[in-house]
Structure 1
């Protein structure tokens, strides 16, 4: 089904607004910084971002902007950062370091 020029402009505006939110770090609890979350946030079908579909250029723009911010070190993936932080907290709470402690005895010898 074809969409009008006004509908296409409206869709692009919603996608760009969702893109800006994601790149600012406003990520929904169940989402990531990816095309699926972008499509959900803009209320458009995810398939519109692939191939020769109308929003494929916006997918390229989103990926380019995301990569530029990641290379600049400005936005680590918050989920990955949270995983690392929670691992460090758990290790500190249990007194276990990230690396196993060296063994004080040699396996296979009798003492």
Structure 2
């Protein structure tokens, strides 16, 4: 692996990231809205997690998260120096319904 790809997400990780997106995007609209994220987290601090997720990812404050915004967020996490393993662990946690983790990525 050359270091040109060090700030880029690997294709495997990008697939995983989109897999999580699709799990949350239950209606397949290619957008995540707050209703969907509240359902995704059910009771585990759903409201707090949803608010934090949207604060971090919904850059245009439209109230929905597009696939592009979702990928852009994880790209910026990677560029901020988080390892693919850290990101992957976070995605696994999300799939298991764990809380949204705040990444210092700005």
Task: Give the TM-score category using the shorter length.
Answer: under 0.3
TM-score by length of 1: 0.26
Query: Looking at both structures, which has the greater relative contact order when contacts are Cα pairs under 8 Å and sequence separation is at least 6?
Result: 2
TM-score by length of 2: 0.27
